[in-house]
Structure 1
Amino acid sequence: MPCRFLITLALQAAFFTTAAPAGAPIISLDGGTFTGVAVGSTESFLGIPFAKPPVGNLRYRLPQANAPYQGSYDATSFGPSCPQKSTGIPVLTGLSSRAAEAVVNSVYGEISPDAEDFTPRSQGGFDSGGPTIYDGTVIVARSITLGTPVIYVSMNYRYPYAASMILEREFTFLRGFGFLPGKEVKAAGVGNLGLQDQRQAFRWVQKYITQFGGDPTKVTIWGESAGAISVSLHMVANGGNTEGLFRAAFMQSGAPIPVGDIANGQESYDALVNDTGCSDASDTLACLRTVPYGALKGAIDRSPRLFDYQPLRLSWLPRTDGVFLTDNPQRLLQQGKVANIPYVTGNCDDEGTLFSLSALNVTTESQLKAYVKTIFLPEATNEEIEELAILYPGDITKGSPFDTGVLNAITPQFKRIAAFQGDGVFQAPRRWMLQNTLPFNPNVWVFLSKRLKFLPVLGSVHASDILNVYGGGELTNYLIHFAANLDPNGESGFQWPKYALGSRQILTFLDGLVPLTITSDTYREASMNYLINTTLTYPV
């Protein structure tokens, strides 16, 4: 019986299949022979290239399919990670030693060396990550135990920052390699190359997955953070036409984000061109293709980073390019141009805390309003900024980490900033997606992770729900069942109700003796509605 299979965006690069025989597993693709590695009850084939390396004249061009395989290949280890951008350590002044240690341990992990010539492995936040961080065998082995075997596939794609996180990460977008902005990029039709790389990987899967025992008609795409945003953008690409590349989606902390035209990032493009010595070239994009890798990466590293003052207003992120994304992704949802497929989506309760550590110098009401005006909504009126300040008040008991009272207020404005950043970039976009798809799509499930509330300063921090998957938690089972049957519920266990606009029931993960419950997705409703309406008017 063919296995179902999952594609994970921004994870490792490889194929993890079932039923490893004695000795090293071997698979044939075209005229090539690939030798993998047996891991327990699974087989792994690592580092198989799915497209031509985007180097030389192929830099900043659409991905090209790999030539037919010939010869023998060692598929027992990962190749280099995609080029990544340095993150910069956040200023941790004012945090307890325990909190500082938690930040470092949860945000910085080891990844393999990066290179421009990469094979299928990947990272997070459109900026960082690495395949070696995530062990897909955990999921495949569990699927065997459940009697619903899946094939786990992950791929590398061009992105920007090098903020390696041990959980799957950060909202760093395919740096200047995969999400280059600017009118020159739009004119050349080479925007959103990171997403185009992912799409090419999907096509590779359609061509070759049967060789691994998979069923190309039963593909679920799954990702967290930048990976989840990527999944959602594939749902609104091509007017919602999946091209038969996938049949379902699973998103953790990510939905279509409020971004405008790719020319909105012109300042970043111009800075890169200037910093690489290409400003006097008649064709600056062609010049960038000739810049030595080290010099280009160095210039990209000098752009705003994940933990700089404007952490979630990044230089390199998906934007409307007229090809892959024909409009603001949130407008595409509003227009109904989204794939009508079963999907799961959810958030961590305190999505914004991690990204607010760079704003510890914002301590007064006036500084808070200036911060919002300067970083997030530069075109908004003073009246609109005032309204936002009312909806996200200075009362620290209402800030994030939520439901922690007066605790974690490491500055007078920290919890407030964390609240509107987490809602604006993660929670409100999820609500907007639900609002605009539920009228015609009844096959949707939603979750909220409120675990790790005891973590100082960070609480139920962004990406902590990944532990619930790779740590063998409840989400592992739900993910496997969903990929296999288009329903996260199995025959036993806590039953997860579908989401409906009338009831808005969501599965909620808790610490303590009662780990699972059903709650209502109505918290901070007025605040999130205001954020959505404002960012629709003033997209990044």
Structure 2
Amino acid sequence: MVSKSLFLAAVVNVVGVLAQAPTAVLKDNEVITGVLEGTVDTFKGIPFADPPVADLRFKHPQPFTGTYQGLQAKDFSSACMQIDPYNSLTILDNVLNLGKVIPEKFRGPLYDMAKGTVSMNEDCLYLNVFRPAGTKPGDKLPVMVWIYGGAFIYGSSAAYPGNIYVKESITMGQPVVFVSINYRTGPFGFLGGDGITAEGSTNAGLHDQRKGLEWVSDNIANFGGDPDKVMIFGESAGAMSVGHQLIAYGGDNTYNGKALFHSAILQSGGPLPYYNSTSVGPESAYNRFAKYAGCDTSASDVEILQCLRSQSSQVLHDAQNSYDLKDLFGLLPEFLGFGPRPDGDIIPDSAFELYRSGRYAKVPYITGNQEDEGTILAPVALNATTTPHVKKWLQYIFNKASDSAIETVLQLYPQTLSEGSPFRTGILNALTPQFKRVAAILCDLLFQSPRRVMLNATKDVNRWTYISTHLHNLVPYLGTFHSSELPTQFYAKIGPSDSYLRYFISFANHHDPNVGTNLLTWNKYTDEGKEMLEIQMFENTMRTDDFRIDGISNFENDLNLYG
């Protein structure tokens, strides 16, 4: 006979097991099971589209046709196919000696990726949901949807767990549901050229993101989220993705008659005025990819695509990794070759033109950058040690720009060390005589100019802007470098963590970053005051967004400087 104490112990054990297994019920009463991680319910590896394999390779995602019944959503899915970060980032690590320059706690997921291989698979269209433990359908919590960066050539939602955001939202009394989405990168997600354009399969990676947002609209209420209060946010290529989702279909962000998202945050990225999907950059990247994949590039476009779809994932992976150090192992040419392009479909026009003509989703947003965005990219021109070298490098990168346009850039960004990046460091941090100059050019071309284009064009929505200087004079050569805020957002709650977590959580809840944060009031940006928040290591200040006006304005207006 079982004793009362043993019976009670068994009951407690069963209850404990059940407490470790949060569930959600999706369409047709399909039950999925997640994991309780402290005060957070996690559901990892939920498919939101059919696997983009075989005949679906390179094409727009198709709705998920499988069943969710019995899904054990306990582990992140594999990353989508991408470059080998081990090769490229390890070389970058060696060049800049990042292991000694960057303190361990500031290295973050991008640096970590350099230390080993990444599990990847073409079957990768999965998302993850994090919510306060015990959240129920009907709770209608605001939803924060994260889109990762990686220059459109690598990245994974697994590098950005949402636990820290959910925990902080509970502490603030402003609970949220956090969602992260995988999307295809490189040629798998952004193959361009005549053939893929004619087929109607351009910008598949953007369509992956949108399909994920559609899944959120259809299903997040079953997790306790509010589909009518969704905020999209991302960093680097993730922020560029957000910038393009805002202008997708000329600003039409509706699905089944309802908005897919209602606010947005762009960290270190924005719209770039790429040439269209059949221009030289994507066509060249397409041909190189096909050549290294063993396909006959003299064949018809239909035959080339048939060849590419017949090859193994490994063959295509090797083809994507065919670039060398001169091209920063594919980062530079693939960034220009593989990325969101105007295609007459999801991106109907040049990104800058879409914003300037008012064809964007009218939602409140936040946009901002790290002070020294370009330093982590400047080693691509490490051998450029004189002005003629830099000019030749600029001509290589911007092959459609005139000599006078290149000369204008060189005049606006002189070799003077005190004007280069890391900014405000005088003659220090000059890895080479031209390093700080190149870093300043890349910072303003790729990051500051898109931010200002958006701010100047979107006068009919509430907007906030920031600059982060939290590593100023702390990290040699790099300063407050690109992606340096991510560790404090997702891993180590130190330094500027509260500024990102609390402002952003407030924004998701109230479309205002200032509610219940116990932080400095962040004033809205206006054309008159150009108000900007400066995020420092341990405190914030308000300042004016008035730096490098001439140089950044030149990049805003000379569109031939983009690929």
Q: Deviations over 1:323-359 (max 9, x none)?
A: 1111111111121111111001100000000001121
Distance 1:304 1:93 in 2: 15
Q: Deviations over 1:450-489 (max 9, x none)?
A: 0112101110001112234224412100111000110011
1:354 to 376, 379, 383: 376
* 1:144 shift after superposition: 1.0
Distance 1:490 1:104 in 2: 28
Q: Which residue of 1 aligns with 2:201?
A: 190
Contact kept? 1:488, 1:496, Cα under 8 Å: yes
Distance 2:198 2:413 in 1: 40
- 1:479 corresponds to 2:504: yes
Pair 263,311 (structure 1): closer, same or farther in 2 beyond 3 Å: same
* 1:390 shift after superposition: 0.9
What residue identity is the alignment partner of 1:25? Answer: P
- Describe how 1:38-437 pairs up with structure 2 within 5 A: 38-67=36-65, 69-87=67-85, 88=88, 89-90=90-91, 92-93=94-95, 98-99=100-101, 105-106=107-108, 107-110=110-113, 112-121=118-127, 123-125=148-150, 126-159=152-185, 175-243=186-254, 244-264=259-279, 265-279=282-296, 281-282=299-300, 283=302, 284-303=304-323, 307-308=328-329, 311=332, 313-375=335-397, 377-437=398-458
* 1:123 shift after superposition: 4.8
- 1:37 corresponds to 2:59: no
* 1:100 shift after superposition: 7.4
Helix, strand or coil for the counterpart of 2:411?
helix
* 1:90 shift after superposition: 3.4
Seq. identity, %: 36
Q: Which residue of 2 aligns with 1:467?
A: 487
Distance 1:286 1:388 in 2: 43
Contact kept? 1:98, 1:456, Cα under 8 Å: no
* Gap regions ≥5 residues in structure 1: 1-19, 160-174
Q: Which residue of 1 aligns with 2:22?
A: 25
Distance 1:96 1:180 in 2: 32
Distance 2:380 2:91 in 1: 6
Contact kept? 1:308, 1:358, Cα under 8 Å: no
Contact kept? 2:321, 2:329, Cα under 8 Å: no
Moved more, 290-299 or 417-426: 290-299
Contact kept? 2:148, 2:235, Cα under 8 Å: no
Q: Which has the higher contact order (CA 8 A, sep 6+)?
A: 1
What residue identity is the alignment partner of 1:254? Answer: G
Moved more, 200-209 or 311-320: 311-320
Please tell me the root mean square deviation across aligned C-alpha atoms, in Å. 2.2
What residue identity is the alignment partner of 2:549? Answer: E
Distance 1:93 1:430 in 2: 30
Distance 1:320 1:365 in 2: 34
Contact kept? 1:30, 1:68, Cα under 8 Å: no
* 1:391 shift after superposition: 0.4
Pair 70,355 (structure 1): closer, same or farther in 2 beyond 3 Å: closer
When normalised by structure 1's length, the TM-score is 0.88
Distance 1:355 1:103 in 2: 21
Number of residue-to-residue matches in the alignment: 500
Distance 2:96 2:271 in 1: 34
Distance 1:434 1:86 in 2: 36
* 1:131 shift after superposition: 2.5
* 1:271 shift after superposition: 1.4
Moved more, 303-312 or 346-355: 303-312
Contact kept? 1:27, 1:35, Cα under 8 Å: yes
* 1:201 shift after superposition: 0.5
Helix, strand or coil for the counterpart of 2:562?
coil
Q: Deviations over 1:214-260 (max 9, x none)?
A: 11110000101111110010001111111110011011011101201
Pair 86,425 (structure 1): closer, same or farther in 2 beyond 3 Å: same
What residue identity is the alignment partner of 1:24? Answer: A
Pair 246,402 (structure 1): closer, same or farther in 2 beyond 3 Å: same
Distance 2:502 2:40 in 1: 17
Contact kept? 1:80, 1:119, Cα under 8 Å: no
Distance 2:18 2:223 in 1: 14
* 1:117 shift after superposition: 0.9
Helix, strand or coil for the counterpart of 2:295?
coil
Distance 1:418 1:530 in 2: 16
* Gap regions ≥5 residues in structure 2: 1-16, 128-146
Q: Deviations over 1:59-113 (max 9, x none)?
A: 1111100025253111111111111112413354575872378799454314751
Contact kept? 1:186, 1:322, Cα under 8 Å: no
Distance 1:96 1:268 in 2: 30
Q: Which residue of 1 aligns with 2:10?
A: none
Pair 153,500 (structure 1): closer, same or farther in 2 beyond 3 Å: same
Contact kept? 1:261, 1:319, Cα under 8 Å: yes
Q: Deviations over 1:18-76 (max 9, x none)?
A: xx982311112124221100011110000000000000111111110002525311111
When normalised by structure 2's length, the TM-score is 0.85
Contact kept? 1:399, 1:416, Cα under 8 Å: yes
Q: Deviations over 1:287-337 (max 9, x none)?
A: 211111110111111146873497375331111111111111111112111
1:452 to 450, 462, 471: 471
* 1:262 shift after superposition: 0.9
Contact kept? 1:304, 1:314, Cα under 8 Å: no
The structure where helix makes up a greater share of residues is 2
